Homo-oligomer: A and B are copies of this chain.
Amino acid sequence: MEDTVKPGLRFSLLFEAEGRNESGYRTDITVHRRARQDESFFLPCDEGKVVGGEGTAPWPLCYFASGLTGCLSTHLRSFAKQLDIPLSKFSLTVKCSWEARQSGALPYKATPISFVVDIVLEGGASDRDKMRLIEAASQGCFVEQSLKPGLVVHRLKVGDGWVSV
């Protein structure tokens, strides 16, 4: 695995999660980043009490939403530098929506509806460069590129409104 990114190269990433459930919805999860030197994080999950969990840890979908948001954020920062686009502070809001449909007594089936990403970029770049940056970050984002095509919508704050990218 490469720990640095050089032009023309390919590199691989491997993240391995180990989950253990003893009872109920609480699942102890440790995630390892497999590389020359492994790094590990304890990221347990639970469901809230409203659906029968114990509320001892974040919902799984909170982790998913943080992962998508963080991966896009990382690529905005990294690629602004690579593309020489000025970027100071920025913020992004990601709305993730799903639907579950249940027929008869069978368990429900899940359907993703959309992941809407609203982005505010500060630092004085032109709107054209901001859009170019968002497009590049979208293509480089490991989470977004793992999702079904068409689900993620990006919007850039321009003046008082939002422009689809």
Contacts and interface: CB of A to CB of B under 8 A. Distances in A.
A147 B99 CA distance: 15
Copies of this subunit: 2
Contact of A96 (B14, B76, B99, B105): B14
Contacts of A17: 65-66, 68-69, 93-94, 96
A162 interface: no
Interface of A: 3-25, 27, 29, 31, 33, 35-37, 39, 41, 43, 45, 47-48, 50-51, 55, 58-71, 73-79, 82-83, 88-113, 115, 136, 139-149, 151
A19 B73 contact: yes
A13 to B, nearest CB: 5
